[in-house]
Homo-oligomer: A and B are copies of this chain.
């Protein structure tokens, strides 16, 4: 009914871009997210959380992200369940990201953050697109609504 996740963490390896048989771009990576407290041994533990992003966002992430980079990820928590080839039931949890923000230096605007951004259409509601069909390509038209446009 509602499923929203927000994470900030560091990439544990370089993301790798793949394509589905239908040509849809998909990138997976793992995020190290430190817990905000220490355990009984006084150690700070870390959750290693798998992220998957699709389409244009997959390509942006693959192009700009590297192991160690700090990112914010928004998305939904997905649990897939299947039987492996030993007949064992396996459950795989991952966050399907629809927004990824780069939080440390990207070499862009003088040490700034968010130099590159990615937005996907949350909830997978966008139609399936091939990799060459950029859903965010600028068509030269304005994409927001001006104040003059407001009815109140």
Taking beta carbons and an 8 Å cutoff, which residues of A are in contact with B? 1-9, 18-22, 24, 26, 28, 33-42, 47-49, 54, 70, 72, 74, 76-81, 91, 93, 95, 98-99, 101, 103-104, 111, 113-114, 117, 119, 121-128, 136, 139, 141-152
Contacts and interface: CB of A to CB of B under 8 A. Distances in A.
14 contacts: A2-B6, A2-B101, A3-B35, A4-B7, A21-B149, A36-B125, A37-B123, A40-B145, A47-B78, A49-B77, A49-B79, A54-B145, A103-B103, A119-B123
Given A77-B5, A113-B103, A121 B121 contact: yes
Contacts of A20: 145, 149-151
Given A20-B151, A36-B123, A78-B47, A2 B146 contact: no
Contacts of A126: 143
A101 B21 contact: no
A29 B152 CA distance: 13
Given A5-B77, A47-B79, 4 more contacts: A2-B72, A48-B79, A72-B72, A121-B121
